[in-house]
Structure 1
Amino acid sequence: MEPTALTTERLLVRPYVPADVPEVHAACQDPGIQRWIPVPVPYRRDDAEIFVTEKTPAGWQDDSEYNFAVRLKADGLGGEGPLGGEGLGGEGPLVAAVGLVPRGTDAHEIGYWAVAAHRGRGYTAEAVLAVARWAFTEAGCVRLVWRAGTGNTASRAVAEKAGFRIEGVARAGMEHRGTLRDCRVGALLPSDLGLPSRLPYLPTPEPAAVSAGS
């Protein structure tokens, strides 16, 4: 897949470039990210460099994963936090990250994290929606899956804000740091966003209403 940049009202959602390394490194020092996201701990500068300059380009090249840096537009209203706010030329600061992984021929799984200084402003959900639309219209996705540990209420809030329907809890549904954990699972379909699907979808009929006399 050719690396693709997306835009929203407030954000630039684009593949990583080497200049992103310092902010990725700083963001991943956050204990909240390290608790839920499978990043190396401790997270060193080398880890950020490998992710940005090696893993991300390789993922786009072999279609194994598509990683996006999420930055405010230069005129965004996000303000500055402890990580600084200057960003790159013509761009504001890094506010989040979104990743998309193909799972078979039809489904993709989405994951994300938010920079601590920029949480609570809806940036991550806005970026997730942009990536979801791209996945449905350009990447052949017909079902977008979200998973997160059952205690990760912030991730669930983002998923629900982006329109995901929570489908249940999968026992031992994800591995994190060598341990299987229960996780919540949700999904977003093209039809949820008013988009056509590459394959037809026949949902389960709603149960017939029981009449008062039955």
Structure 2
Amino acid sequence: MTAPLLTTRLLTPRLVLDQPGEADIPDVLDACQDAETRAWVPLPLPYTRESAEFFVRSYCPHGLASHRYTVWALHLSTGGRMLGALEVRRDERAGSASLGCWSGPWARGRGYMREALVAVTRHALDPHGLGFDRLNWEYVPGNESSRRLAEAAGFTFAEGIRTVVELHGERREARVGTLRRDDVGL
């Protein structure tokens, strides 16, 4: 049986991943007002301070309470701004979950999200962690940085496997990648 979704603190060589907190609200606001983030993440528009407060105070805690999803905030182990967020969402299919993320523009191109994604995927697939058998990653064609990030963490994209996602009121075709427990040797 899959474990309840909990925000377990995860440590990597450079990062601390934990539940977003009050101090992260200004960074959530800045990142979610960024044009690149808004282009690929289904966010409320306009994204306001109240939106960021809702994300930290309601959305993240609700995911934990409902056991449906969990969100990690990325911070450098030396402190500073929130670099981004990474979410694991339980799928309808038993034993599987989907992942999604965003990075603040001040954190892009430094490998932070890749480092965090590797840690979260290992934790999510570990039988002593979240215990999922399979993880899914969806990206909308055009967002090639999302695909490269997923591939760097071990996800594979088979030709022809697609789904439809809602992005800013439009139905868009998305490619689906997978990562299985066996793929990472757990």
Does residue 190 of the first structure (1) align with residue 178 of the second (2)?
no
Match of 1:27 among 21, 26, 31: 31
Q: Distance in 1 between matches of 2:141 and 2:41?
A: 13
Q: How does 1:1-214 map to 2 (within 5 A)?
A: 1=4, 2-74=6-78, 91-104=79-92, 105-137=94-126, 138-170=129-161, 173-195=164-186
Report Cα offsets for 1:16-60 as digits up to 9, x if no partner: 111111111111111011011011111100000001011101101
Instruction: Tell me which stretches of 4 or more aligned residues in structure 1 moved more than 4 Å.
Output: 169-172
Q: Which has the higher contact order (CA 8 A, sep 6+)?
A: 2
Residues 72, 85 of structure 2: 8 Å contact kept: yes
Is the alpha carbon distance of 1:72 and 1:15 closer, same or farther for their aligned partners in structure 2, counting shifts above 3 Å?
same
Is the alpha carbon distance of 1:169 and 1:126 closer, same or farther for their aligned partners in structure 2, counting shifts above 3 Å?
farther
Give the RMSD, CA atoms, in angstroms: 1.3
Higher helix share: 2
Q: For structure 1, list consecutive stretches of 5 or more residues without a partner in the other structure.
A: 75-90, 196-214
Identity value in percent: 37
One-letter code of the match for 1:7?
L
Is the alpha carbon distance of 1:46 and 1:95 closer, same or farther for their aligned partners in structure 2, counting shifts above 3 Å?
same
- TM-score, normalization: structure 1? 0.80
Q: Secondary structure at the match of 2:80?
A: strand
- Aligned pair count? 179
- TM-score, normalization: structure 2? 0.91
Report Cα offsets for 1:45-87 as digits up to 9, x if no partner: 000000101110110111111011011111xxxxxxxxxxxxx
Residues 163, 175 of structure 2: 8 Å contact kept: no
Q: Secondary structure at the match of 2:145?
A: helix
Q: Secondary structure at the match of 2:62?
A: helix
Report Cα offsets for 1:70-125 as digits up to 9, x if no partner: 11111xxxxxxxxxxxxxxxx23211210110002211000011111111111111
Q: Secondary structure at the match of 1:182?
A: strand
Question: Match for residue 80 of structure 1?
Answer: none
Greater C-alpha Rg: 1
